[in-house]
Structure 1
Amino acid sequence: MFYLGIDIGKRTHAASVMDEAGKILLKGFSFSNSTVGAEALFGALHKFSASPEDFIVGMEATGHYWLALFSYLDERHFLTHVLNPIQTDGWRNATEIRKRKTDTIDSVLIADLIRYGDFTDTSLMNENVISLKNLSRYRTYLVGTTSDFKRKVIAVLDQIFPEYETLFKGTGVFGAASKEVLLTYSAPETFENVTADELGQALRKASRGRLGADKAESIKQAASSSFGVRFAQEAYVFQLRSMIEQIKFLEKQVNEVEKEIEIIINQLDSVIMTAPGIGPINAAAILGEIGDISRFSTAAKLVAYAGLDASVTKSGEYEATHNVMSKRGSPYLRKALFSAAFVASFNDPVFSAYYQKKRSEGKHHLTAVGAVARKLTYTIHAILTKNEPYKVQI
């Protein structure tokens, strides 16, 4: 048996081969992260054996750069272990080369760790779960970018038409009708040049009949007495219209991503969808970030991974009596769990009772929701581990 250790890089990887006795047969073989590079590695391995079954491969889960090589090796039936870098760091500290770190040394280190066998695989997600992780994170990016544009739109409106925001409190400045109005008219002077009937018709069409003449009159009245900036309006209007177009495009993209997520979630048919507060979007984020639930031998480890555990502040003889959430681990998972906890706190009898209990103890609303999120994480760990749907226990 041969042990192949690969140190992963963005453009170039390094590989070392060790035999069962610990003898280094190949040291620091450099190859590119490409098909040509992978074929060059296979050529080097053929000197020892042409059969993939004679090799055990180890590589670190470094960013996303390991995925392509792993996929390539997996297709060719190599047994490949993906390691958490923390494990190889620990192994380095236990060896005589702990004070040195190079690509060559690391590839030898990984081969030796695989040969010794004292490691735990980083559980790999199936294709659907990887897709959920990527789509969910992409959705988070799109939503965040949309929010940035919305803040900038409000900043521009505050300068050229500060009264506008108060006119759409019910449907919101970024409702369909308001966005169409801003795209068409934008500045107060433009509203003054359009009749109430014309504006009313535009509002009725954009809002599907919910808004009309009354709203049009309110907008025209506010525009006529607006205390906004009157100079450089062309530049402001250009920015405003450009940003509204960006928001519309981003919202369309978010909608399309959510449709893709729902398709995959329906294919998975996971029991997580039975947990309170968890719909397709939260389910996608939670499943994508957790991956294989067997990675977490206890619910407490999952809580820690989500950063929902309490941090401990201690120095000398001082120890804090008020500990806050650590917020370590995956922020995407933590956000999804909080989102689900908000819903569960008011819609599920068990979690609602727990939320009320925390509130009765004098806890702040967000602190109580955080406690619900931790309890919900324990529930998620249980139902995913047992693969059994959630059942309300009263």
Structure 2
Amino acid sequence: MLNAVGIDVSKGRSTVAVLQPGGVVIHKPFDISHKSSDLRDLARYLGSLDGETRVVMESTGRYHEPIRNALSKAGLFVCAVNPHLIRNYGNNTLRKVKTDPADAKKIARYTIDNWVSLREYSVMDTTRTELKTLNSQFAFFMKQKTAAKTNLIALLDMTYPGVNKLFTSPVRPDGSEKWVDYADSFWHVDCVLDSGQKMFTERYQSFCKRHGYDHQPERPEKLYAQAKELVPTAPKDPVYKEMIQDSIAQLNLMSKHVEELRRKMDELASSLPEYQTVRSMYGVGPSLGPQIMAEIGDISRFDHREALTAYAGVDPGKNDSGEVVHKSGHASKCGSARLRKALFQVMEAMLQLGPRDNDPVSQFLFKKKAEGKPYLVYMTAGANKFLRVYYGKVKECIRNLPASDSED
């Protein structure tokens, strides 16, 4: 006897329907709150049903996690599926009914029809969920950092134009950048010019020592000469100084938080079985690797390579009709935008590093570029190729794991 439990999840409350094959209704749809006592009662009821019981719900951000965790801990088979699969399932009626009970029954019918292929939630999924949450926060704070940096540059363009282009030092592990530290000390062109070149040279040397930067003796002279050519549009006024230094403080705070999230993501991702395999791929570093792993999740969710490329939205769309057959189409973009962004960053890294002899992705990318393909075409094609190689390598990595370490 098969018991299919469909749960339509909302914030703080869910609707549950229990069906058996043939459309037999075991329990009419009913509402359940996400309180611990109510979830225990639900787990007890579902556990008392005769036969095999499987619970399916949509993966809806964070809302589904309390009920998923409670039922999984109670020993029930729980599966969270992509809402896109449910939305496109079983729409074989002219009537459009959109209610919580109807959606719960729809999920239950999906459970029956896909019984064999359902994948049970595992402990490893907790790590992957945590990694994806960190990646979500990372993307959020990166946007905040970009906005803070844009605002700071706009302010400095009035007092010290082009100061953000004076240094090429990389971002430090704590998120600090040399041009930002320099602008904090020399926020206006007159901060350089008023004291004279000799005094500026001494102040610059002190700045480098205070922040731990290498001091190049010829650098102060070049900075002073460049400053003499600049024309600020705002006066050396305390109001501008306060705005700029407040903006720098905000940017440094965001930068520090971003780097801390980057470190935590790499540390967490290293506990997953495919970490070394992903990190060994060309163009993937300690930042992009965990981001890609976070968005893809467990590779066993995808039955074939095309399913993964479709999930990322880098698969070419098809729009043929009759005698009209298109040779190529736009990417579907029906999937994770954060994953597509990370893939494009990997492609950008390959373009900067150049093709590698034993790497099929970079060879393919440069081949498409040499053929004169538009930027988005060869970048999307390269991302598609990367995911196909990723799928094969990670699948092989998981297969070669000892049985105790495998997620399957």
Q: TM-score range by the shorter chain?
A: 0.7 to 0.9
| Cα distance change on mapping 1:235 and 1:28 into 2, 3 Å | farther
Which of 372, 376, 384 matches 1:374?
384
The answer as to whether partners of 1:136 and 1:281 remain within 8 angstroms in 2 is: no
- Residue of structure 2 in register with 1:363 after alignment: 373
The offset of 1:321, in angstroms, is: 6.1
> Aligned residue for 1:63?
61
Residues 63-111 of structure 1 show CA distances to partners (whole Å, capped at 9, x for unaligned) of 3311221111000011223333344344442368x52121122223333
Are the counterparts in 2 of residues 273 and 283 from structure 1 also a CA contact under 8 Å? yes
Confirm whether residue 266 of structure 1 aligns to residue 290 of structure 2.
no
Residue 114 of structure 1 is matched in structure 2 by: 111
- Between the aligned partners of 2:6 and 2:18, the Cα distance in structure 1 is 6
Question: 1:305 touches 1:330 (CA, 8 Å); kept in 2?
Answer: yes
The 8 Å contact of residues 19 and 26 in structure 2, kept in 1 or not, is answered as yes
**Residue 54 to residue 164, structure 1, CA distance change in 2 (3 Å):** closer
**Is residue 312–residue 339 contact of structure 2 (8 Å, CA) maintained in 1?**
yes
Asked if the contact 1:57/1:80 (under 8 Å) is kept, the reply is yes
Distance change in 2, residues 1:187/1:63 (3 Å): same
Once the two structures are overlaid, the 10-residue window that deviates more, 31-40 or 113-122, is 113-122
Amino acid of the structure 2 residue aligned with 1:74: S
* TM-score normalised by the chain length of structure 1: 0.82
Which residue of the partner structure matches residue 5 of structure 1?
A: 6
Aligned to 2:247: 243
| Aligned 8 A contact 1:311 1:325 in 2 | yes
Contact kept, 8 Å, 1:87 with 1:119, in 2: the verdict is no
Worse overlay, 333-342 or 8-17: 333-342
Task: Please give the secondary structure, in 2, of the residue aligned with 1:280.
Answer: coil
Distance of aligned partners of 1:34 and 1:375 in 2 relative to their CA distance in 1, 3 Å threshold: same
Q: Does 1:348 align with 2:347?
A: no
Matches of 2:319 and 2:48, distance apart in 1: 56
Change over 3 Å in CA distance of 1:53–1:234 after alignment to 2: farther
Q: Report the more deviating stretch, 203-212 or 315-324.
A: 315-324
Helix, strand or coil for the counterpart of 1:278? coil
Q: Any stretches of 5+ residues in structure 2 without a counterpart?
A: 400-408
Q: Provide the residue aligned with 2:140 in structure 1.
A: 141
What's the offset of the Cα at 1:286? 2.0
Q: How many residues align?
A: 384
Q: Which residue of 2 aligns with 1:228?
A: 232
Question: Alignment partner of 2:7: what SS?
Answer: strand
Shift of residue 257, structure 1, vs aligned partner: 1.8
Task: Give the % identical residues.
Answer: 24
Instruction: Give the unaligned 5+ runs of structure 1.
Output: 390-394
> CA contact under 8 A between 1:52 and 1:78: conserved in structure 2?
no
- Equivalent residue letter for 2:291: A
Does 2:341 align with 1:335?
A: yes
Q: Please tell me whether the aligned partners of residues 262 and 287 of structure 2 are also in contact (alpha carbons under 8 angstroms).
A: yes
1:167-211 deviations in Å (ceiling 9; x for gaps): x14448997333223223422344455532442233322563533
- 1:41 maps to 42
Counterpart for residue 302 of structure 2: 296
Shift in Å, 1:113: 3.7
| Code of the aligned partner of 1:176 | E
Match of 1:37, as an amino acid? D
Structure 1 258/248 Cα, relative in aligned 2: closer, same or farther at 3 Å? Answer: same
Q: Does 2:149 match 1:150?
A: yes
Q: Which amino acid aligns with 1:372?
A: G
Give the 3-state SS of the residue equivalent to 2:271 in structure 1: helix
Please give the per-residue CA displacement for 1:49-68, whole angstroms capped at 9, x wherever unaligned.
Answer: 64697633222222331122
Distance apart, 1:8 and its partner CA: 0.5
SS at match of 2:133: helix
User: In 1, distance between residues paired with 2:217 and 2:84?
Assistant: 65
SS of the residue 1:267 aligns to: coil
In structure 1, the residue matched to 2:200 is 196
The counterpart of 1:93, out of the listed 81, 91, 103, is 91
Q: Distance in 2 between matches of 1:172 and 1:332?
A: 24
**Structure 1 pair 70/204, CA: closer, same or farther in 2 (3 Å)?**
same
Structure 1's 369 and 93: CA in aligned 2 closer, same or farther, altered over 3 A? closer
Q: Distance in 1 between matches of 2:115 and 2:170?
A: 58
- Quote how far apart the aligned CAs of 1:229 are: 2.5
- Tell me if structure 2 keeps the 8 A contact 1:18–1:25: yes
Decide whether the 8 Å contact of 2:79 with 2:118 is kept in 1. yes
| Root-mean-square deviation over aligned CA pairs | 3.5
Change (3 A) 1:9 1:217: same
